[in-house]
Structure 1
Amino acid sequence: MTDNRAGTSIDKHIGALLSGGFKEFLNFVKTHDDLEIAFRGNSNKVTIYYHNHMMWDLSFSRGNKLKVTVSFNHARYCADWLTKFDDLKNEGFDVSKCVINTIPVRIGNLSCLANSFSVDFVTKTYNVMKDAIDTYFTWSRKHDYFKNTDANRKVNLVEKVAQQEIYRYFKNGVEISKDKYLCLYDLEFAQKNAPEGNKPDFLGIIYNKGFIEQVVMVEVKSLKGALGGSSGIRNHYKGMKNYNSNPVNVIARIVEAKEYLAKLHKLGLRESWVKNGLTNAIIANLPQTVAGTIGNVIFLTDEVCECYKWRKSSHRKSLYRKGRCPIILFYYDYESALRKGKSGYSWFSIY
């Protein structure tokens, strides 16, 4: 299969979102700023994210029916998980393979097949899963009702909230220098069978009012531990650079970027792009060349911001020399973002 998350394999999904049985999901996303649509052509599906976690997977069954999938594991910290389970069962989700009367509870992903999905279905499943994911993201120690044990998930989830805030803030294009804009268009990127082991958090573009300068791979780090170790920022930067040195990867990402951006335009999800100078004509003219077309951007948030600003370390001295890789320190209201799904304030500074 061609490595293209926005290729022809999801044309049918786009049609169903525009005027078919998935159209209420598209309408819902347009009125809920906490949700993001991502194309997953390599897996023949479209994913809608909340807090960078799957809210819904939209796909087609072997019988060509529309298929909606949710990850019910998010409900494992909810005291009312069984009520949520019954709510989804009543909406038509298949629960025939679930084990709910023993410990551990085994549910996993739940799917529902239909010819079309109503506003009521979308709203009800959103409310169930949003509450489950919100509980999953709470700071305090929680009880895992599926395993009947306690667990502390705080450390692992700060970065996920930061990622969602950054994506929301930059998805419509933000001016990062005079007449130069950064726009994020895809999240949770992982190339098929990538020997470089590269998995940045976002894909984006840097463009001015005349042309697209670069497709960029974006990494986010939020906790002090992210500055070192096997998953540290040095290794991520090295992985991105190695990935970008392969011409096959570069051409694949450029072709994909053109189709991805055009499909977002078609769905009406980036209307502000035109105001900022990113038109379909500019997208179509994205140069299909290797040298300099793929770049990197690193976002630092939360406690890592202060580490970067004040700590005179080799990270700052050697890895992020001016002109080598833009570093953006991003600040936001974590508690507001977590509770309301919308930040009370966000701002950034660029190095």
Structure 2
Amino acid sequence: MREFEYRRVHDVSGAVALLDADPDARFLGGGTNLVDLMKAGVERPARLVDVRELPLDRIELRADGALHIGATVTNSDLAAHPEVRRRYPALTQAVLAAASGQLRNMATVGGNLLQRTRCAYFADVTQPCNKRTPGSGCPALKGEHHNHAILGASEHCVATHPSDMAVALTAFDAVVSYETADGPGELALANFYLPVGDTPHRETALPPGALITGVTLLAASVAANSRYRKVRERASYAFAIGSVAAALDVRDGVVQEVRLTFGAVASRPWRARAAERVLTGGPASAEAFAAAAEAELAAAEPLQDNAYKVTLLRNLVVAVLTELTEEAAR
């Protein structure tokens, strides 16, 4: 590993000032992704700015019904919080499915949103990778890609985003708050991750040097009837090969509102807007759920070894929405 300076900060303005003065610095939360990348030589910061002691570790229910989650809240605390469990059960399920207990105890909400792809070519500095070294190529296109993207990819990158938490947060229209040297700002999570295009190394719309300070979930009654389902290659801790976060409001057999986001199929959580439009106002039936999934997945462009994800996602959508429909009828 490259030698680096370590600084611990206790106020947001001080943290932002340190990064503003040093573009080679990185914020350090739990370190569950960044430290691994440093060991592999993918990340080589000259300075780590430890933000774990910033006053951003609370979950607060606001007067307007919104739930604000501080950026340094650990994944374990987020999953266990009674308001999260009651009002956004899919978020709790996503966090619990994401990692081992030890990792959840260390990982933070802000860091989770910024974790980088687990593509093997990205993590191997002996291999070309447009995300790591722009213009060097994407060997996954013709190499190992069974767990790579089928939606929204490009000839420059077919890697997928690894976060389970971000999939659920996207379904609930989360808003990310951040601080920069120029002041605070906000980004809807739907706009937080950038399309791959020809610049896969540019992953988020955060301004340079920005520190994530929190995530806000607006009040949404549909979120109480929600579920996160993750498919992985082994039952123990593993990244998804496909996942679905869904929330559903059904009355008299008709879909009043639906939220649907796919994970592990694109470079960002994939909000299934086409499927939502097909379902809203229509029957809550397995046939309708399958048709909605087909409408969304019509845009899929699978590679040689990952076409199975199309079938997997369709089946997941039908299974999860059917379960939510049955629960709503009880």
Mark the structure with the bigger radius of gyration. 1
Q: Structure with the greater relative contact order (CA < 8 A, sep ≥ 6): 1 or 2?
A: 2
Q: TM-score, normalised by structure 2?
A: 0.28
The structure with the greater share of residues assigned to helix is: 1
